[in-house]
Structure 1
Amino acid sequence: MANKAAHIANSSTFLLVIIAIAIVVNVFFYVAPPMRVDLTEDKLYTLSDGSRKLVTNLDQEILIKLFISENLQAPDHNLEQRLDDLLQEYAIYSDGKLRYEIIHPKDSDEPSPDAPAEGEQAEEDATDLAEEGPRGFGIQKIPVGQRSKDEVALRMIYKGMAILHGDKQEVIKELRSTDNFEYEISKRIKILVTAEEARNTVGFVAGFGGPVDSEQFIQSINNAFSQIYGELLSAEAVNLSETKTIPENIDALVFLNPQQPVDDQAKYAIDQFIMQGKGVAWLQTTMSPDPRMPMLPTRQPVLTGLAPLFESYGLKLNQDLVLDRTNSIVALTFTDRGLVPVSNPTMPLFTDINDQSVIARDIPTLCFPLASTLTVASTAMENKDLEVIELVKTAKTAVRRDDLSTLSYEQIQKESDSEEKGPFVVAAALQGALTSHWADKEPPTPPAEGATHLKASAAAARVVVVGNGDFMFPNQQTGYGNQYSSLGAMFLLNMVDWLVQDEDLITIRSKGLPRVVKNVSPDEYVTYQVGNIVGVPVLFAFIGIGFWFYRRQRRANLTV
């Protein structure tokens, strides 16, 4: 009896302790400030470093007005809560320089929920409401379907935002539940606080064939830049085949798949641009279809003459082809059975991506159709004043071959003795002190009036070379769809931001990127399958045995 009474006393004491702990924990969380834990992979609900830096350095107060109707249904049912949580973080990190208001406009067009005034006063009240309300900022009602127990109706609602900074303002007219809210808000704050003269312009080199020579290219790029950057970044075509100088307003240059030889005068202009401490990217597919027979798998090399220039800085683009017969995407390919979807070795998947670099951070997978390899010079690797960044590498299963004459599926599927095994670098960047290609020789053209011949970079220059120039363009005919081209476009945008040395928005923009399912090897597949079939039952068996031993020991103690 004594043992039984002691057991009851111990159990009661244990229960009272648990209850006391629960009470203390509940009281603590009741009086403590609200805390949130973000368990998402991309930290979707945590303010990025770029946003924190942006609001920490505000020199003038910012007011954000969120106009959102009440009692919204899915998918907008938690829209207000998400935005409230996010804006609260902005306000905390701004140290009081950013305030926000949540306003619930009435669905009705009445000027006020109270009884309307009469005569001139009513007209004055309506005018004040229009100026301070959503319509005063150009935010209009959005029609959405509304379901109730009795009917399905169309409801006109508000869900917009105005961001005010002094006498300037930015407006988001419609907030969608699928939007990257942090990026949209931070982008508009950055637009408001950035002076016009501090905004960047990227030049795309024209005059040597390729997509940039198209009349619609710069317009389409600027349309995309406007949606992504607002007024922070614009694009211009720089025709170096005509003018051998680069305009002063250009902050970075991009060579995108030129198809014709670049003359020495244009190369010298690029070299001196880099020596000024600015950024240049060269994105090149080293082969193209035979224009006489574009539908056949035959290919011919693209000879631009740029390779020696970039090799002198430390990055050599090789005239070769990367094949990966294990890790590649399924694409429409000409075979002896006709045009059929097969795993195409010329479209390798790259998962060895340097996430320590802001250019490739948070990009899980890339695919470069018809990629070529890069060789990083040993002199660049040994240069203490130069940072070499290997951005993207192939898998170990990849091979490279020098024969570019044919892309016949039957030919590329056959292993060749001349093939070299990977991994290989297919995209790399340099940052730091660079030496001019013309440091020890006479330049092809005398410097412009008032300019000097620069033999070394005056500041930390930036150079990117990628062994492909098509990764941002979807091609549904070959199977290179939007899933991969959107990741490629993000890679290009990050690259441009890095070249102009404005990296605040990179980490914010990458949130919510599409995730590509990783290819699983046969051995891994068997391991996962056995784990699912055998591992789970064995785990529960061990748990059951553990409980059985515990209860047996407990009964033995009670008996004693």
Structure 2
Amino acid sequence: MSFKPHRVKAIRIFGLGLFIVFAVNVVAANFFWRFDLTEEKRYTLQDPTKELLGKLNQPLHVEILLGTDLPTEFQRFQKSIVETVEELGVYSNQPIYYSVNDPGAADTESERNKNYQAWMDSGLSPTRIFDNDNGTDVQKLIFPYVVLRYGDRTSSVLLLKGNQGASFEAKLNQSLEGIEYELATGIQRIADIDRKRIGLLQGHGELDSLNIYWFARDFSEAFDIVPVDLSEVTELKNFDVIIMAKPTKAFSREDKFKIDQHLMHGGKAIFMVDALGVDMRQAGGVGTFGLPYTLGLDDLFFRYGIRLKNDFILDVQNFGRYPVRMDDSQTITNLRWPFFFGASWFSDHPITRNLDAVYTRFTSTIDTVAAQGIKKTPLIFTSQYTRILNAPAPVSFEEIAAENDPSLYQGGQHPIAYLLEGEFESLFKNRVLPKEGVNTNNFKADSPNTKIIVIGDGDIIRNEMQRGVPLDLGFNPYAEGEEKRVFANKDFMMNALTYLIDDDGLIQARNKEIKLRPLDRIRAQKEKLKWQLINLVGPIVLLVLFGVIRNFIRVRKYSRF
């Protein structure tokens, strides 16, 4: 039995095809890769995110709460969340299960309200959006959260963020850019992976536990927060970051040595310091003065490349409010109060990118000074409509109430927070070291590459109090109407700590950029019929044309037989 040549050729082609299919399957089974063809690599996870997912040791359940029947732009937002969760599942060491649920799903209005209340009681705040239903504008409540469940732990992650001053479309796009970072940090927090230790400095009149209640409560989910009195330890040991929150009493030489050596050994720090102190309880109906604190930290900060100026900044662009009694009567007036303002100008840095305004109170300006090898990045700025009051700075109620002259608020923008990075020189280099109450055995004169954040406002971490109850961090209880909001102080602190602790890690996901490509609605309406024909008729025409050409070629090829 013999095979004709064309049959042998066909068998060879078939065998080669089988071999190629087998080889591709072997390669695919042993080597993993994915291709992201989008310009901004929107579907590509950061390497630290992939490493985090490889450390999971239990399945993760993700409940997406946006729900159903959403406006078009929120459908896109929900789709991006789902796509990101699916991408996380590809790289995870454990299964990641997800579901999309509607908190407003109910048969009756009362049941729907009951569901809403249950979610709000669990700590989730709804967002009010507007939609068009058959030509009628309607309001809807959505919960832009995902709920993570890992073992016996549960945590919620807010995904709708961004700068309130931006357009709605831009804010939604900023939220899209932050999905990976928010989910990754949420997973790290709930899975308790690579937990870091933060030292809260005490012993110098810093903010007490009630004033930082919400910071301590919310951040303890992600970090071990340990109060440490400098007078009771000989060194700051085993802390990744130390936080100085509004000291009011002087630091001794020994205390400064302990802080300095923490940094010289590679530790990180956030210094939130008020240059001037003002006691509003003694203001009466006229006013008071802001006077310099004698903290003894000037030489320490100067050595690191920074100087806090003895002044107050007044900003009328995003001013706050403050209730005062203007005279001997019991009438309280809620004054416009430019000593308190929302700072909403930021540098393009992972800590502050797409950040909403940060609430500040009695803030001072910051200068930089020469410090070799130190990179200084301003993080937060005032608006350009400012006024500087040097110490002793008058805090006059009547003057502020009657102030209507815009020419007085032409001080320009000022940075109020700096990031310092590099190899720092010790304040005690080539000096006699303290002898009592400190450990000098491991003295270092220069640091490795490390980082410091200095903020000219000690209150940026402080939550307001109302009738003895701590309010949410960043909430201004004196605001009126549309001014009433929760500022992004919590987000700023979380981003800052994440960057200091792991600057090449998850924080880099905040650099993801998704470009807005808005549709030209006028052109779309004008060319609507043309594109409908192209999309509907075009494929059919191409298919028919392909069949005609293929049939013509076959007729030409076999007509000679």
Structure 2 length normalisation: TM-score?
A: 0.60
Q: How many angstroms apart in 2 are the aligned matches of 1:184 and 1:416?
A: 40
Alignment partner of 1:276 out of 265, 275, 280: 265
Structure-2 change in CA distance of 1:282 and 1:84 (3 Å): closer
Contact 2:155 2:190 in 1 (8 A): no
Structure-2 change in CA distance of 1:402 and 1:418 (3 Å): farther
Say yes or no: does 1:287 pair with 2:276. yes
* TM-aligned CA deviation for residue 218 of structure 1: 7.1
* TM-aligned CA deviation for residue 47 of structure 1: 6.0
2:86 is matched with 88
2:205 is matched with 209
Structure 1 gaps, min length 5: 1-32, 105-140, 164-168, 512-535, 544-560
1:430 is matched with 420
Alignment partner of 2:107 out of 136, 147, 151: 147
Structure-2 change in CA distance of 1:275 and 1:210 (3 Å): same
Say yes or no: does 1:321 pair with 2:322. no
Alignment partner of 1:186 out of 184, 187, 199: 184
Letter in 1 for 2:451: R
Structure-2 change in CA distance of 1:293 and 1:67 (3 Å): closer
Q: How many angstroms apart in 2 are the aligned matches of 1:193 and 1:257?
A: 32
Letter in 1 for 2:299: P
1:397 is matched with 385
2:479 is matched with 479
Alignment partner of 2:353 out of 346, 361, 374: 361
2:239 is matched with 250
Q: How many angstroms apart in 2 are the aligned matches of 1:389 and 1:404?
A: 29
* TM-aligned CA deviation for residue 284 of structure 1: 1.6
Q: How many angstroms apart in 1 are the aligned matches of 2:439 and 2:240?
A: 21
Structure 1 length normalisation: TM-score?
A: 0.60
Contact 2:305 2:374 in 1 (8 A): no
Q: How many angstroms apart in 2 are the aligned matches of 1:443 and 1:456?
A: 15
SS at match of 1:427: strand
> Which deviates further from its counterpart, 177-186 or 340-349?
177-186
Structure-2 change in CA distance of 1:34 and 1:341 (3 Å): farther
SS at match of 2:184: helix
* TM-aligned CA deviation for residue 507 of structure 1: 6.5
Q: How many angstroms apart in 2 are the aligned matches of 1:68 and 1:316?
A: 47
1:443 is matched with 433
* TM-aligned CA deviation for residue 430 of structure 1: 0.8
Say yes or no: does 1:200 pair with 2:196. yes
Structure-2 change in CA distance of 1:65 and 1:97 (3 Å): closer
* TM-aligned CA deviation for residue 236 of structure 1: 0.8
Contact 2:85 2:98 in 1 (8 A): no
Structure-2 change in CA distance of 1:386 and 1:192 (3 Å): same
SS at match of 2:231: coil
1:387 is matched with 375
* TM-aligned CA deviation for residue 332 of structure 1: 3.2
Letter in 2 for 1:86: T
1:224 is matched with 218
Contact 2:320 2:341 in 1 (8 A): no
* TM-aligned CA deviation for residue 313 of structure 1: 1.1
Structure-2 change in CA distance of 1:502 and 1:320 (3 Å): same
Q: How many angstroms apart in 2 are the aligned matches of 1:436 and 1:177?
A: 41
> Which deviates further from its counterpart, 301-310 or 181-190?
181-190
Structure-2 change in CA distance of 1:74 and 1:343 (3 Å): same
* TM-aligned CA deviation for residue 437 of structure 1: 0.8
Q: How many angstroms apart in 2 are the aligned matches of 1:188 and 1:422?
A: 38
Q: 1:182-228 deviations in whole A, cap 9, x for unaligned?
A: 56642454358766xx421111111111313x4x56765442114xx
SS at match of 1:259: coil
Q: How many angstroms apart in 2 are the aligned matches of 1:190 and 1:441?
A: 43
Q: 1:321-365 deviations in whole A, cap 9, x for unaligned?
A: 1123x413241354868643454332344333112x222222143
* TM-aligned CA deviation for residue 90 of structure 1: 1.7
Structure-2 change in CA distance of 1:173 and 1:394 (3 Å): closer
Contact 1:258 1:304 in 2 (8 A): yes
SS at match of 1:249: coil
Q: How many angstroms apart in 2 are the aligned matches of 1:387 and 1:502?
A: 15
* Aligned residues: CA RMSD: 5.0
Q: 1:417-476 deviations in whole A, cap 9, x for unaligned?
A: 99993332211121111111111211223695682221111x112111111111344544
Letter in 1 for 2:429: A
Contact 1:201 1:233 in 2 (8 A): yes
1:531 is matched with none
Structure-2 change in CA distance of 1:316 and 1:419 (3 Å): farther
Say yes or no: does 1:421 pair with 2:403. no
Across the two proteins, how many residue pairs are aligned to each other?
417
2:458 is matched with 469
Structure-2 change in CA distance of 1:399 and 1:294 (3 Å): closer
Alignment partner of 1:347 out of 340, 345, 369: 340
Letter in 2 for 1:261: A
Letter in 2 for 1:85: E
Say yes or no: does 1:53 pair with 2:42. no
Contact 2:214 2:463 in 1 (8 A): no
Letter in 1 for 2:253: D
Q: 1:265-307 deviations in whole A, cap 9, x for unaligned?
A: 1111001111111111211223333387255531342221212
Structure-2 change in CA distance of 1:48 and 1:448 (3 Å): farther
Q: How many angstroms apart in 1 are the aligned matches of 2:489 and 2:53?
A: 33
Q: How many angstroms apart in 2 are the aligned matches of 1:399 and 1:259?
A: 25
1:373 is matched with 365
Letter in 1 for 2:218: A
2:3 is matched with none
1:494 is matched with 495
Contact 2:104 2:112 in 1 (8 A): no
Q: How many angstroms apart in 1 are the aligned matches of 2:35 and 2:235?
A: 57
Contact 1:278 1:499 in 2 (8 A): no
Q: How many angstroms apart in 2 are the aligned matches of 1:67 and 1:392?
A: 34
* TM-aligned CA deviation for residue 175 of structure 1: 8.9
* TM-aligned CA deviation for residue 393 of structure 1: 2.5
Structure-2 change in CA distance of 1:414 and 1:313 (3 Å): farther
Letter in 2 for 1:427: A
Contact 1:331 1:479 in 2 (8 A): yes
Say yes or no: does 1:406 pair with 2:399. no
* TM-aligned CA deviation for residue 235 of structure 1: 0.6
Structure 2 gaps, min length 5: 1-33, 120-145, 162-174, 465-475, 513-520, 527-561
Q: How many angstroms apart in 2 are the aligned matches of 1:350 and 1:177?
A: 22
Structure-2 change in CA distance of 1:468 and 1:343 (3 Å): same
1:456 is matched with 446
Letter in 2 for 1:199: R
Letter in 1 for 2:270: A
* TM-aligned CA deviation for residue 319 of structure 1: 0.9
1:239 is matched with 229
Letter in 1 for 2:303: S
Contact 2:360 2:457 in 1 (8 A): yes
Structure-2 change in CA distance of 1:207 and 1:48 (3 Å): farther
Letter in 2 for 1:408: S
Letter in 1 for 2:420: L
SS at match of 2:427: coil
* TM-aligned CA deviation for residue 257 of structure 1: 0.5
Structure-2 change in CA distance of 1:420 and 1:224 (3 Å): same
Structure-2 change in CA distance of 1:478 and 1:404 (3 Å): farther
